[in-house]
Chain A
Amino acid sequence: MTAALTTDKERALELEAVNLTLSWDGGQDVVVRDINLSANAGEVICLVGRSGCGKTTILHAISGLLVPLEGHILLSGEDVTGVPGKISYMLQKDLLIPSKRIIDNVSLPLVIGGLSRKEAREQAAPFFERFGLEGTEQKWPSQLSGGMRQRAAFLRTYLMGNEAVLLDEPFSALDAITRVDIRAWFCRMVRGLHLASVVITHDVDEAVSMADHVYVLVGTPRAGIPTTVAGEVVVPRSAREGVDDFSLTSEYLACKRRVVELLGA
Chain B
Amino acid sequence: MSGAVTSPDARAYAVRRIMVPVCTMAVLLVVWELAVRTGMVPNFLLPSPTQVVAALVADASLLAQHAATTVIEALLGLGIGVVVGFVVAVLMDRFETVYLAFDPLITISQTIPTVAIAPLLVLWFGYGLAPKVILIVLTTFFPVAVSLVGGFRSVDPDMIDLLRTMGASDLQIFREVKLPSALEHLFSGLRISATYAIVGAVISEWLGGFSGLGVYMTRVRKSFAYDRMFAVIILISALSLALMFLVDLLERLCMPWKHTEGK
| B-binding residues in A (CB < 8 A) | 60, 63-65, 84-85, 87-89, 91-93, 95, 97-100, 108-109, 111-113, 140-145, 160
Contact = CB atoms under 8 A, between A and B. Distances in A.
B2 interface: no
A62 to B, nearest CB: 10
A77 B152 CA distance: 39
Given A97-B180, A108-B176, A144 B158 contact: no
Interface in B159-202: 159, 161-168, 172, 176-177, 180-181, 183
A60 B160 CA distance: 13
A111 B158 contact: no
B257 A142 contact: yes
Contact of A108 (B156, B166, B262): B166
Nearest to A85: B167
B243 to A, nearest CB: 25
Query: Would you list the 9 A-B pairs with minimal beta carbon distance, nearest first?
Result: A85-B167, A99-B180, A89-B165, A140-B257, A112-B166, A112-B168, A109-B166, A143-B263, A84-B164
Interface string B192-231: 0000000000000000000000000000000000000000
Interface residues of B, number: 23
A89 to B, nearest CB: 4
28 contacts: A63-B165, A65-B161, A84-B164, A84-B166, A85-B164, A85-B166, A87-B165, A89-B162, A91-B162, A92-B158, A93-B158, A97-B159, A97-B176, A99-B180, A99-B181, A108-B163, A109-B166, A112-B167, A112-B176, A113-B167, A140-B257, A140-B260, A142-B257, A142-B263, A143-B262, A143-B263, A160-B165, A160-B166
Interface of A is mostly: loop
B89 to A, nearest CB: 18
Contacts of B249: none
A234 B254 CA distance: 52
A99 B263 contact: no
Given A99-B183, A112-B163, A112-B166, A144 B177 contact: no
A95 B162 contact: yes
Q: Is the interface of B mostly helix, strand, loop or mixed?
A: helix
A93 B263 CA distance: 19
Question: Max chain B CB contacts within 10 Å: which of A63, A65, A99, A100?
Answer: A99
A99 B260 contact: no
Contact of B263 (A65, A109, A113, A145): A145
A73 to B, nearest CB: 13
B260 A143 contact: yes
Contacts of B156: 93, 95
Contacts of A84: 164-167
